[in-house]
Structure 1
C-alpha cells in the first residue's frame, strides 16, 4: 500500500447529537472501490455529563467491530483499526472487501447537545498486528460434577481493563472452573479466550446485549448475533435476539434488572424466552433484594428461569470486581461449554459467596434436585452445607414466601438439615443462607449484604 493510499479519506463528516429529538442510531455509509489492506475509523466528540456514544462498523459481509469508552469525560476518541491480518481492540480482522460499508453511531443516551466528527481512511498494517490464535485442543474435561465459575466479565475489547489472557489467568488464580467472556457487542475476544482453555478451565463464548432499555448476556454462541435492538424503524427486537441465541443452542440471561438507567425496561419482552436471570449481581448492592423478589414473581407465574450470579468484572483483581467472590455453581455432566449450558438450562445451579450446597427433595417415592420436579405429596427436603465461615441463618421459601428458617453455627465441615412439609402446594421450594450478625433479632437475617447462598428451585407439580 502506498502512502497515498494510507492517507486516503473514504469518509470525513461532522454532525451533532442532542437529547431532542431522540435518535437511537446514526448511520453513515461509505464505499470501498477496491479491496484495501486495512481501514481506520475514528469518532471524536466532547462529553461533559452523560453522552454515551458507541462506534460500530459493518462491511459487505457483516459486523466488523465496536468501540466504547462509557466512563470517560472530556474529549473522547473512539477508534477501530482492522484489516486482513490485524485488528485493534473490539474489531475483527479480515479482508476489506470492495462494496458498501456502514458506520453506526449508537446513541445509547445523551443529556447534552454535542458535535462529533467521523473519519474513515485506508490504513496500512498495524504495528500491533497479530496472528489469530488457534482454539485450544481441550475446552474443559469430561466428568460429572458441581463446577464454580463466572458468567459476566469484560476485557479491553469493550469497557474492561484486562486482556482475555489476563482475565483467564485471574480465573485460574481464583480457582474457577469456567469463565464466560461477555464483552459488550463484540466477539473480538473469542479467539484469544478460546486458545486459553484447557482441562481445568472451560471457556464460554458469550456477548452482552447492551441495549438502551437493559442488558442481557447471550451465552454459548456459535456466531455473532445482532444485538442492536433499539431502532424503532426496524422489526428486529429483543425477542428476536433471544430466539436467535436459542437457535444456536445458547442461553439468554437478563442482567442487573434493577440497575436504575441500566435496568431492564423491555416491557414487551416475552419471559418464556428467558433462560437465566441475575438474582445476585456483585456491583448492585440493595438492588439484589428487588431482583430476588421479581424472580419469585416470574417463578410463581410458571416461568422456569435459572437464577445466576454475575460479578460484571471489569478488572479481575480490583475490589468488588475481583473474580471468585460471588460465583455460579453448576451441576453439569461435564466441564465443557455444552455440559455447563445444559446444567444451567435445567436449573442445576446455585449462587455462592462461600458455602457449598446439596439440596434435594423427596415426595411420593420420587427424588429431585434443583431444577427437578416432585409430585404434590408430603415433601421432605434435605440440605447439606459446607464451609459456613459465619453463624448462618438458612431460609426455606415456599412459592416465594417464608416457610421456615434455622440458625446454624459456623462450621467448616458438613452441616446436614432435613425439613418436612406435610401440606405442599404446586409451585416450588428454594433455599437462601445469610451470615447472621450477632445483633440480629428473630425477624432479621435476609440482609442482601450478608448473602452467602441462593439456591435454584425444586419444583412441585400441580
Structure 2
C-alpha cells in the first residue's frame, strides 16, 4: 500500500538574470538533497517577450536526469522536471532520488532580451509506489534483407514535440514506415517508451538530437546517453568529442538542417571526417535544401563518404509538413533491425524519396557496385530502375556534383529501366536526382528544390583502373 507523500519542502531557491551581453552559455546552480527524499521537483520560471531560449537540465550525483524546454512559447514560462521512483515528468528520468549534491543547469541557447529567472527545488518525503517496470523489448524489427522506408528525425513530448511515443509509433505504422529514430532534444527519457512500441513491422532506433548553440546534429544508434552540452568556452567537451563518443558506441553522427539560419551549422572547428550522415533534405527547410545539397557535394568532392539522408523533423506526426511519410530515407539493409539499418546507412546504401522507388547500380571494368560502393576507373555504365513515378519527371545523372546528363519520363505505375553511359569517367562519384516536371515542355531547368522527388547516394569511381 502506498503512503501519502508529506507536504513538499523547499530545498533551494535562486534568482538570477540573463541578458544578451555578456554572453553566457550555461548557468549552474548546485543544491543538496538530504536522505529520505522520494520526490524531487526542479522548476525554472521566467518571462519573455521576444527570443529568450532558456532550457532546464538537471544532474544528480550519478549523472544526467533530464531536460525540459519550451522554445516557441512567449509570456510567462515555466519549465519543470520531477523525479522519483514512482515516475517522472516528460523529459525526466524516473528512479531513486539520491542524496547528495545535485545541480541544475540553465542552458542559455540564445537571448535577445534581459530576463529575470527564479529557480526552485522542492522535495517530497514518504513512501511511494515504484513505477511499473516497462515490458521487455521482445522484437525490434525482423530479419531479412530489403529496402526499408523510415524516419530519422522526430520528436515527442519529452522535448518539444506534441505527441507521445505511442502516438508517434502509431503514426509511423499508419503512414507505412518500416523504421523510426526518436531524436528528442537533449534527453533520452523516451527510449524505453519507443522501444516498447517496436515490433516485427517497426524497428526503432535510440537517437538524440544535439541541440547546440551553433547547430544541431542527430546521434543515432546510441547505447547510452552522450552529453550534448558542447558550448562552454574553453571547455573540455566539444563537438568533435561528441562525434567520437557516438562512434565508440557503434552509432552514427549526422549534421541536421545545416543552413537553417541561427539553427544552422556553425561549428567551424568540426572535423568532417567524423560525420557519418548529413541531412540533404529537410522537410521544413524549403530553399535551404538546395544549399544543403550543394554543400554535401563539396564534402563528397573533398573525399568524405558521408551518407545523405532526409529528415521530417516531426513535432506532430499527423499535422501539416510535420506529418510522417511525406519524405523518407530508404535504407538497403541486411535486416530490419537497428544494427542492420545503421550498417546500411554507414555503407551509403540509402536514398531520399518523396514517393518514387529506386535501384541504382554501376558497372565498370567488370565490377558492379550499388550505392555506397565503388567501381574502377574505366568506361562506366549506370543502370537505374525507377518505380512509383506519380508525376512526369526529369531524371538527372550528376557527376562529381555537376550535370552529366538527364532524361524526361512520363508518369508511370510501371517500373522504368534506364541505362546511361560515360566513356570518359574521372575519379569521384555519380549520383541521381529526380524532380517532378511541369506538364508543358518548355522546362529548361529542373532542379528546383520544391519539385524534388528523389535523391540518391553516390556510387564512387576509384582513382585507379
TM > 0.5 between the two? yes
- Whether the 8 Å contact between 2:385 and 2:418 is mirrored in structure 1 is yes
**What residue in structure 1 maps to residue 189 of structure 2?**
188
**What residue in structure 1 maps to residue 139 of structure 2?**
138
Root mean square deviation, CA, Å:
1.6
- Residue 48 in 1 paired to residue 85 in 2? no
> Cα distance, 1:7 vs. partner?
2.3
**What residue in structure 2 maps to residue 223 of structure 1?**
224
Question: Hey, what's the Cα distance between the residues in 1 that align with 2:280 and 2:159?
Answer: 24
**What residue in structure 2 maps to residue 242 of structure 1?**
243
Superposed CA deviations along residues 123-142 of structure 1, whole A, max 9, x for unmatched, are 36899984242332010000
Question: Hey, what's the Cα distance between the residues in 2 that align with 1:434 and 1:109?
Answer: 38
Classify 1:440/1:361 alpha carbon distance in 2 versus 1 (closer, same or farther; 3 Å).
same
**What residue in structure 1 maps to residue 381 of structure 2?**
380
Question: Hey, what's the Cα distance between the residues in 2 that align with 1:263 and 1:288?
Answer: 12
Question: Hey, what's the Cα distance between the residues in 1 that align with 2:358 and 2:8?
Answer: 61
**What residue in structure 2 maps to residue 37 of structure 1?**
38
> Cα distance, 1:290 vs. partner?
0.1
Structure 1 residue runs without a partner (length 5+): none
Classify 1:61/1:368 alpha carbon distance in 2 versus 1 (closer, same or farther; 3 Å).
same
Classify 1:72/1:124 alpha carbon distance in 2 versus 1 (closer, same or farther; 3 Å).
farther
- Residue 255 in 1 paired to residue 249 in 2? no
- Whether the 8 Å contact between 2:38 and 2:128 is mirrored in structure 1 is no
Q: Secondary structure at the match of 1:341?
A: helix
Q: Secondary structure at the match of 2:37?
A: coil
> Cα distance, 1:265 vs. partner?
0.3
| Length-normalised TM-score, structure 1 | 0.98
**What residue in structure 2 maps to residue 295 of structure 1?**
296
Superposed CA deviations along residues 395-432 of structure 1, whole A, max 9, x for unmatched, are 00000000000000000111110000000000000000
> Cα distance, 1:62 vs. partner?
0.2
**What residue in structure 2 maps to residue 368 of structure 1?**
369
Q: Secondary structure at the match of 1:120?
A: strand
Q: Secondary structure at the match of 1:29?
A: strand
- Residue 90 in 1 paired to residue 60 in 2? no
- Whether the 8 Å contact between 1:348 and 1:370 is mirrored in structure 2 is yes
Classify 1:427/1:35 alpha carbon distance in 2 versus 1 (closer, same or farther; 3 Å).
farther
| Length-normalised TM-score, structure 2 | 0.97
- Whether the 8 Å contact between 1:84 and 1:94 is mirrored in structure 2 is yes
Classify 1:441/1:21 alpha carbon distance in 2 versus 1 (closer, same or farther; 3 Å).
same
- Residue 422 in 1 paired to residue 423 in 2? yes
Q: Secondary structure at the match of 1:123?
A: strand
**What residue in structure 2 maps to residue 432 of structure 1?**
433
Structure 2 residue runs without a partner (length 5+): none
Classify 1:3/1:335 alpha carbon distance in 2 versus 1 (closer, same or farther; 3 Å).
closer
Superposed CA deviations along residues 310-365 of structure 1, whole A, max 9, x for unmatched, are 00000000000000000000000000000000000000000000000000000000
Question: Hey, what's the Cα distance between the residues in 2 that align with 1:328 and 1:147?
Answer: 8
Question: Hey, what's the Cα distance between the residues in 2 that align with 1:123 and 1:453?
Answer: 55
Question: Hey, what's the Cα distance between the residues in 1 that align with 2:459 and 2:125?
Answer: 58
Classify 1:125/1:2 alpha carbon distance in 2 versus 1 (closer, same or farther; 3 Å).
closer
Question: Hey, what's the Cα distance between the residues in 2 that align with 1:126 and 1:152?
Answer: 39
- Whether the 8 Å contact between 1:86 and 1:128 is mirrored in structure 2 is no
Classify 1:124/1:357 alpha carbon distance in 2 versus 1 (closer, same or farther; 3 Å).
farther
- Whether the 8 Å contact between 2:5 and 2:124 is mirrored in structure 1 is no
Classify 1:79/1:368 alpha carbon distance in 2 versus 1 (closer, same or farther; 3 Å).
same
- Whether the 8 Å contact between 2:36 and 2:126 is mirrored in structure 1 is no
For these two proteins, the number of residue pairs brought into alignment is 462
> Cα distance, 1:169 vs. partner?
0.3
**What residue in structure 1 maps to residue 109 of structure 2?**
108
> Cα distance, 1:284 vs. partner?
0.3
> Cα distance, 1:5 vs. partner?
5.7
Question: Hey, what's the Cα distance between the residues in 2 that align with 1:91 and 1:440?
Answer: 56
- Residue 407 in 1 paired to residue 424 in 2? no
Question: Hey, what's the Cα distance between the residues in 2 that align with 1:150 and 1:128?
Answer: 36
> Cα distance, 1:439 vs. partner?
4.1
Question: Hey, what's the Cα distance between the residues in 1 that align with 2:211 and 2:129?
Answer: 28
Q: Secondary structure at the match of 1:298?
A: helix
- Whether the 8 Å contact between 1:6 and 1:121 is mirrored in structure 2 is no
Mapping for residues 317-328 of structure 1, pairs under 5 Å: 317-328=318-329
**What residue in structure 2 maps to residue 78 of structure 1?**
79
**What residue in structure 2 maps to residue 312 of structure 1?**
313
